[in-house]
């Protein structure tokens, strides 16, 4: 696997679009998410750090998705392949992890559905952008 041949335009574009999706997702579901996460906005610390960390995480996800999609498609990804890999990665790692963690943390399924839906959207978007742009620098 060639770690240097990644299409950085695709990685950066995927991370930006995924981050914007997350902003819209959680703005639309903010009241439900706060309730499900058992958080009180009045006692929450205001910080930009979570937004920065989420963007960095999505950059890492997009980079790894480019490596996976590029390797699994022989460097010839498609939009459909990106969507399929995004879904499979979400199902195999994110949905399972959230389901387990939220049960141990005593959160309800409502939080799992909200957070899981967000990460499904993120990985589908990242996969689609990587598949559309191409995983490997041309």
How do the residues of the chain divide into helix, strand and coil, expressed in percent and rounded to 5?
Answer: 75, 0, 20
Tokens of 95: 């949905």
pLDDT of res. 2: 65
Distance (Å, rounded) from C-alpha 131 to C-alpha 38? 37
Tokens of 5: 């041949």
pLDDT of res. 39: 96
pLDDT of res. 4: 74
**Tens digits of pLDDT across the chain (138 residues):** 666 789 999 999 999 999 999 999 999 999 999 999 999 999 999 999 999 999 999 999 999 999 999 999 988 899 999 999 999 999 999 999 999 999 999 999 999 999 999 999 999 999 999 999 987 776
- Cα-based distances in Å from 122 to 59, 78, 126, 136: 11, 17, 6, 20
pTM: 0.93
CB 14 within 8 A of CB 129: yes
What's the start-to-end Cα distance of the chain, in Å? 16
Give strand pairing partners of 6: 136
User: What letter would DSSP give residue 45?
Assistant: P
pLDDT of res. 76: 86
């Amino acid at each position: 696997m060639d770690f240097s041949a990644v299409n950085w335009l695709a990685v950066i574009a995927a991370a930006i679009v995924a981050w914007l999706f997350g902003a819209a997702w959680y703005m639309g579901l903010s009241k439900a998410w706060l309730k499900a996460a058992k958080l009180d906005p009045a006692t929450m610390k205001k910080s930009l750090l979570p937004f920065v960390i989420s963007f960095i995480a999505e950059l890492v996800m997009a980079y790894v998705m480019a490596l996976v999609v590029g390797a699994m498609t022989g460097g010839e990804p498609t939009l459909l392949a990106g969507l399929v890999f995004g879904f499979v990665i979400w199902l195999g790692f994110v949905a399972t992890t959230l389901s387990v963690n939220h049960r141990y943390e005593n959160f309800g399924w409502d939080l799992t559905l909200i957070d899981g839906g967000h990460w499904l959207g993120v990985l589908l978007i990242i996969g689609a952008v990587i598949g559309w742009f191409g995983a490997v620098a041309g």
